């Protein structure tokens, strides 16, 4: 059985959502953050990094698989259980766009928001070069996302894919930790409303983080 170990208000919400989109059987184990926002000891014991997401899979020949990193986990589940869903193949015209936006989420976008969060936690002044660079880069990325979503309904093109799953955490739940304004980006906001209308997203958020405010606007 595939088990998704979901740490509250974390990137592992992507994996719960993915499983719901695919309609595959999985076991969901919930873990709550400590008062200092850290994962509890039992979650940290799952993987040396102690970060979310983590999955285990005891259907793998040779024993239990333990896997972390959002991109790797999504690729693993799509490859093993997806049956071709939510991921265009190399022959598809949307393939390159899918790859770019899928990897953009954690390769560029999430680190940019983390830089802003860290600067705020350190109470760095707004004129500090590191703060200015971080805010500028985040604005550039949001503008690029908004432009992309002006031209297509989903990041890879006409169809919803796992590339749409990856950045939603950074645009929503992450803003509980690092608030920023999406008002200047109407196409991102419209896309988030399309996401919010998906039954799989609704089920995933209710199962993984019941009662959490969904920052979709």
Q: What is the pLDDT of residues 115-144, one digit of tens each?
A: 887 777 777 677 776 677 778 889 999 999
Q: Which pLDDT score is estimated for 124?
A: 66
User: Cα separations (Å) of 73 from 4, 18, 52?
Assistant: 10, 10, 10
Instruction: Calculate the alpha carbon distances from 198 to 110, 160, 167, 193 in Å.
Output: 23, 10, 16, 9
pLDDT at residue 110 in the model: 94
pLDDT > 90? residue 14? yes
Please check whether residues 120 and 23 belong to one and the same domain: no
Query: What mean pLDDT is predicted for residues 145-156?
Result: 98
pLDDT at 6 over 80: yes
Q: Are strands 27-31 and 54-57 parallel, antiparallel or unpaired?
A: unpaired
Q: What is the average pLDDT score of the chain?
A: 93
What pLDDT does 139 receive?
Answer: 93
- How many domains does one find in the chain? 2
pLDDT of residue 62: 66
Rounded-to-integer distance, Cα 14 and Cα 18, Å: 6
Lowest mean pLDDT segment, chosen from 20-29, 42-51, 157-166 = 42-51
162/186 same-domain check: yes
Locate 29 and state its tokens: 């184990």
CATH number of 14's domain: 3.40.30.10
Confidence (pTM):
0.94
Is 16 in a helix, a strand, or coil?
helix
Please provide residue 123's backbone torsions phi and psi, each rounded to the nearest 5 degrees: 55, 40
Per-residue confidence (pLDDT) for residue 34, from 0 to 100: 87
CATH label of the domain that carries residue 132: 1.20.1050.10
List the domain range (segments joined by +) for residue 74. 2-85
Q: What's the confidence (pLDDT) of residue 119?
A: 74
Between residues 130 and 74, the one the model is more confident about: 74
Q: Are 80 and 101 part of one and the same domain?
A: no
Q: Is the pLDDT assigned to residue 157 strictly greater than 90?
A: yes
Q: How far is CA 22 from CA 25, 35, 183, 193, in A?
A: 9, 34, 32, 20
SS3 85: coil
Give the percent of the chain with pLDDT over 90.
79
**108 and 181 share one domain:** yes
Is residue 37 over pLDDT 80?
Answer: no
Q: What angle do CA 203, 205, 206 make, to 5 degrees?
A: 65
């Amino acid at each position: 059985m595939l088990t998704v170990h979901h740490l509250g208000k974390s990137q592992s919400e992507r994996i719960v959502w993915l499983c719901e989109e695919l309609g595959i059987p999985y076991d969901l184990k919930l873990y709550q953050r400590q008062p200092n926002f850290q994962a509890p000891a039992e979650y940290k014991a799952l993987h040396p990094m102690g970060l979310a997401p983590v999955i285990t899979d005891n259907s793998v020949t040779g024993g239990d698989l333990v896997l972390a990193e959002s991109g790797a986990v999504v690729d693993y589940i799509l490859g093993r259980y997806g049956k071709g869903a939510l991921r265009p193949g190399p022959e598809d015209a949307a393939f390159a766009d899918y790859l770019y936006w899928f990897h953009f989420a954690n390769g560029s976008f999430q680190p940019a928001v983390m830089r802003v969060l860290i600067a705020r936690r350190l109470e760095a002044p707004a004129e500090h070069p590191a703060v200015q660079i971080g805010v500028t880069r985040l604005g550039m990325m949001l503008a690029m996302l908004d432009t992309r979503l002006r031209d297509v309904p989903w990041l890879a093109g006409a169809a919803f894919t796992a590339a749409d799953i990856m950045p939603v955490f950074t645009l929503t739940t992450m803003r509980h930790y690092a608030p920023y304004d999406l008002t200047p980006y109407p196409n991102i906001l419209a896309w988030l409303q399309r996401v919010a209308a998906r039954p799989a997203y609704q089920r995933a958020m209710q199962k993984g983080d019941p009662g959490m405010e969904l920052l979709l606007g």
